[in-house]
Amino acid sequence: MNTYQRIVLAARPKGEVQPENFRLESLPLPSCGEGEVLVRNQFLSLDPYMRGRMSDAKSYAAPQPLDETMIGGTVGQVIESRNPRFAVGDTVVGMFGWSEIGLSDGALLRKVDTTHIPASAYLGAVGMPGMTAWYGLNHIMKPKAGETVAVSAASGAVGSVVGQLAKLQGCRVVGIAGGKEKCDYVVNELGFDGCVDYKAGNLRADLKAAAPDGIDAIFENVGGEVFDAALGRTNAFARIALCGMIAGYNGEDIPLKNARLLLTNRLLVQGFIVTEHMELWPQGLKELGQLVAAGKLKFRESVAEGLAAAPDAFIGLLKGRNFGKQLVRLS
């Protein structure tokens, strides 16, 4: 087998992402040059930020180029190495994108230990999603024990970590998720104090019931109505970590109706991108890894099988169809 497959961006989406925005290609296996490492990717991570990259609107990151491998985090095994830092069989985390194979000089590859932590977790709770949760909670929301923390997309890769970390810090944690099944999981498996199903049609009333003392800190990664509803329950001096606004990824405006509360409740809102805080990753990943290894930080995965399934899985992710961290198994 001397070919591999990858998926490139074929066309930028107009509105919702469509399968036609992607193109599956076969390429010859590259040869491993001096100092290089060849990796067979085991899992690809699908994340909402990819939707932003597919557009060429001005944003914090350069757009995904057309006809090039879609960006994405991966974990896989070294199958050939001409770099002394890596040996065949090593498990490595990288950014090889939507591709079965990756070739690298090793500079941005990170060797990970899968003795106590499954490889896929390095794309989730012990990877970028986990770090996003860790940073937002500890560096922006800074909740005190006894405070109420609200988390949107609560069953997702980021939200589930935010809530569990907040529980470990002694907070009352209220999740917001889509559907009874996700809410049950959030409460029964992850240990949140409550979870509001935004699809049930009573978002504001249900949130009031679930957070009777108001909300002191919000982790917001949905935007739109869910964000407005959470803002509407804030207590004075609440802190809001803002990372990901899926509701607006398709290019539509997401007006914030409760903007007045920013003033009247003296709120702090901080948007952030966790890759701009790399200096904190070693500390955060160490803490997250220890919690996962100790069974104190649970996570759930949705695994699509094979690279060709990635576009549908990604479209489902944007619509909230996934349940837990969305991955694609590549080998």
Reference 47, options 328, 331, 292, 296; nearest CA is 328
- H or E element: which one contains 305? strand 301-305
Least separation in angstroms between residue 258's CB and a copy of itself is: 8
Distance CA 208, CA 219 (A): 17
* CB nearer a copy of itself, residue 106 or residue 223: 223
Compute the C-alpha angle 261/266/269, nearest 5°. Answer: 80
Least separation in angstroms between residue 48's CB and a copy of itself is: 11
Distance CA 191, CA 69 (A): 39
Dihedral angle over CA of 133, 137, 139, 144, nearest 10: -160
* CB nearer a copy of itself, residue 143 or residue 223: 223
* CB nearer a copy of itself, residue 87 or residue 259: 259
* CB nearer a copy of itself, residue 202 or residue 264: 264
Reference 159, options 268, 241, 267; nearest CA is 241
* CB nearer a copy of itself, residue 1 or residue 57: 57
Least separation in angstroms between residue 261's CB and a copy of itself is: 8
Q: Mapped to the 3 state alphabet, what secondary structure does 33-79 carry?
A: CCCCEEEEEEEEECCCHHHHHHCCCCCCCCCCCCCCECCCCEEEEEE
Distance CA 301, CA 202 (A): 28
Least separation in angstroms between residue 276's CB and a copy of itself is: 7
* CB nearer a copy of itself, residue 202 or residue 275: 275
Least separation in angstroms between residue 134's CB and a copy of itself is: 17
* CB nearer a copy of itself, residue 180 or residue 260: 260
Site residues, a copy of itself (CB under 8 A): 52, 58-60, 223, 227, 236, 242-245, 248, 253-257, 259-260, 262-273, 276
Do residues 8 and 69 touch, judged by C-beta distance below 8 A? yes
Least separation in angstroms between residue 148's CB and a copy of itself is: 17
Least separation in angstroms between residue 28's CB and a copy of itself is: 38
